[in-house]
């Protein structure tokens, strides 16, 4: 006899483990827990209900699509960072007022400043999210260098590639990460 899991009593970590095993009911529980909070946070920034709904749906779709290979420490921080990134992309795509033309008063009035600043946990989650968007080879090299503390020579030996290739991948990774974090820091202003 198979016991049915009560997802409402599960912690976020337990739900994430279930989601990584493609458990759609666990995903639905995460969705129910966080969609409204995410919607409200996004609405503070965009004030366009239809666009906000699309962004929130995209964030959850991305989470489900990448469920088997992301490593998240805090699901809410992960969702917020994903939302901020997608919001920033919408500002760039829009043909209306540029983000940089929005009066500062509007930016500061758009939310709780203490809540919108990136903290260490959010930064770690941000880097994990960024890594999930990188090509597999680049992500592996980045993890080996900065999480496993291996030298470029050791990485090249383990992966069977030249040391120059490892260095080029790391340079490309840093350029990409710098751009990604810059966008998030701009969003943290509001």
Q: What is the pLDDT of residues 62-74, one digit of tens each?
A: 888 888 776 777 7
Range(s) of the domain holding residue 33: 9-188
Q: Report d(CA 32, CA 178) in Å as an integer.
A: 33
Task: Please indicate, yes or no, if residue 182 is contained in any of the structural domains.
Answer: yes
Task: Please indicate, yes or no, if residue 171 is contained in any of the structural domains.
Answer: yes
In order of 31, 155, 163, the CA distances from 27 in angstroms are 6, 36, 41
How many domains would you assign to the chain? 1
Per-residue confidence (pLDDT) for residue 29, from 0 to 100 = 94
Averaged confidence pLDDT in the chain: 79
Average pLDDT over residues 154-163: 89
Task: Please indicate, yes or no, if residue 158 is contained in any of the structural domains.
Answer: yes
Phi, psi at 95, each rounded to 5°: -95, -5
Per-residue confidence (pLDDT) for residue 124, from 0 to 100 = 76
* pLDDT band, residue 134 (cuts 50/70/90): very high
Q: What is the pLDDT of residues 115-125, one digit of tens each?
A: 444 466 677 77
In order of 125, 146, 174, the CA distances from 169 in angstroms are 21, 13, 9
Task: Please indicate, yes or no, if residue 170 is contained in any of the structural domains.
Answer: yes
Task: Please indicate, yes or no, if residue 3 is contained in any of the structural domains.
Answer: no
Task: Please indicate, yes or no, if residue 4 is contained in any of the structural domains.
Answer: no
């Amino acid at each position: 006899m198979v016991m049915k899991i009560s997802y409402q009593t599960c912690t976020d970590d337990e739900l994430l483990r279930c989601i990584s095993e493609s458990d759609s009911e666990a995903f639905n529980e995460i969705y129910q827990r966080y969609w409204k909070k995410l919607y409200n946070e996004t609405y503070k920034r965009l004030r366009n209900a239809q666009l906000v709904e699309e962004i929130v749906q995209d964030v959850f779709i991305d989470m489900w699509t990448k469920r088997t290979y992301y490593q998240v420490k805090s699901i809410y921080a992960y969702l917020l960072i994903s939302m901020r990134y997608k919001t920033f992309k919408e500002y760039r795509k829009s043909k209306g007022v540029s983000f940089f033309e929005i009066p500062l008063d509007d930016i500061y009035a758009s939310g709780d400043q203490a809540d919108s600043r990136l903290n260490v946990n959010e930064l770690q989650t941000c880097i994990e999210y960024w890594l999930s968007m990188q090509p597999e080879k680049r992500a592996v090299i980045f993890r080996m260098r900065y999480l496993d503390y291996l030298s470029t020579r050791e990485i090249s030996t383990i992966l069977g590639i030249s040391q120059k290739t490892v260095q080029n991948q790391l340079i490309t990774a840093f350029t990409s990460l710098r751009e990604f974090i810059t966008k998030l820091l701009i969003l943290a202003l509001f």
